[in-house]
Amino acid sequence: MTRSEKGPAMPDRAHALDLMRGMIRIRRFEEKCAELYSAMKIRGFLHLCIGEEAIPVGVMQALTPQDAIVATYREHGHALARGMSAGAVMAEMYGKVGGCSRGRGGSMHLFDAATRFYGGNAIVGGGLPLAVGLGLADRMQEKPNVTACFFGEGAVAEGEFHESMNLAALWRLPVLFLCENNLYAMGTALQLSESNTDIHEKAAGYGVASEAVDGMDVLAVEAAARRASDAIRAGKGPYFLELRTYRFRPHSMFDPELYRDKDEVEDWKRRGPIVTFSGQLRDAGLLDDATLASIEAAVEREVDEAVAFAEASDWEPVGDLTRDVYTEEDAA
């Protein structure tokens, strides 16, 4: 690896292209989801992470298959980066049986035990106590695992955040807290909701090591995630990363986005994770037009196949609608 004076080390070509491929894969998948939502193929709530792709792709590089993931309702990118199939995710979005949650969860409740992906969560901050529980279980079983918990900056105003940070610090649990700070908790600017906008400093109150990271730089995210996970595995307790990022699209497909200026959005797009990293790779001689076109073509095929899988998947039979639902007959 070679190190740039301006940032983290530039990885070898194979790893660099894997990072690029991962971010493009998430971007094109979500762009297709937005298209399908407009065509009424996907219903319910839909929260896209377009613009934030560097975070799931970078963080997952530091995790092992045995580590656990807890995500938010904006979790498609995390699921794909973790290794869940695009078909299973897309079928879940459709509400089909072929989905990772048999179509019962939809966009906000992706789950896959095989990859230890313990779900998106529709409740703001709701995943934080789950992550503490998973970390405690691993600690009690003396497993050298890390639980990575993703949440937005809006969640730090919730009681669960403070309770979870306190218990994780008190019990020195192997939890990696990952705050995806995109500056707007739904439609409220950060400076209007938090007296201290340096979110990572909140961890100091619990004696938890923390740092702020450029969440638009996939190499910076990967490097920080490795530092944090290495510290956790060394028995130093939980770690907190504030990943400063920006979502290019509204909070959800229902959001009229009246709370921020269009010029601000365009400014952030010019320093988005994909365009920035592709420029870095071109400057380093690691990416050319032909290679980029090949990546795009392969991703397009995968997304098309995911849509075809979702379209062909069955709806849940009406007779199964009470399956896994508690009833008086079950109790008897």
Could you give the CA distance from residue 97 to residue 104 in angstroms, rounded to a whole number? 8
Could you give the CA distance from residue 226 to residue 62 in angstroms, rounded to a whole number? 5
Asked whether residue 199 is assigned to any structural domain, the reply reads yes
Could you give the CA distance from residue 130 to residue 150 in angstroms, rounded to a whole number? 11
pLDDT at 27: 98
Asked whether residue 252 is assigned to any structural domain, the reply reads yes
Asked whether residue 7 is assigned to any structural domain, the reply reads no
| Neighbouring C-beta atoms of residue 328, cutoff 10 Å | 6
* pLDDT tens digits, 85-101: 999 999 999 999 999 99
What is the bridge-based pairing of β-strands 188-189 and 184-185?
Answer: antiparallel
Compute the Cα dihedral for 16, 20, 25, 26 and give only its sign: positive
Of 185, 190, 184, 165, nearest in space to 175 by CA: 165
Which of the 8 DSSP states describes residue 74? S
Over residues 212-228, mean pLDDT:
98
Q: How many domains does the chain have?
A: 1
Asked whether residue 314 is assigned to any structural domain, the reply reads yes
**Residues in contact with 84: Cβ distance below 8 Å, sequence separation at least 6, in sequence order:** 100, 110, 112, 115, 117
Backbone dihedral angles phi then psi of residue 91, each to the nearest 5 degrees: -65, -35
DSSP 3-state assignment of 61? Answer: coil
Could you give the CA distance from residue 235 to residue 59 in angstroms, rounded to a whole number? 19
Q: Which domain holds residue 323?
A: 16-331
pLDDT at 324: 81
* pLDDT tens digits, 155-197: 999 999 999 999 999 999 999 999 999 999 888 888 998 989 9
Could you give the CA distance from residue 244 to residue 224 in angstroms, rounded to a whole number? 12
CATH, residue 158? 3.40.50.970
Asked whether residue 274 is assigned to any structural domain, the reply reads yes
Asked whether residue 36 is assigned to any structural domain, the reply reads yes
* pLDDT tens digits, 97-129: 999 999 999 999 999 999 999 989 999 999 999
Asked whether residue 63 is assigned to any structural domain, the reply reads yes
* pLDDT tens digits, 249-305: 988 988 888 899 999 999 999 999 999 999 999 999 999 999 999 999 999 999 999
The model's confidence at residue 6, banded by pLDDT at 50, 70 and 90, is: low
The model's confidence at residue 5, banded by pLDDT at 50, 70 and 90, is: very low
Asked whether residue 2 is assigned to any structural domain, the reply reads no
pLDDT at 4: 37
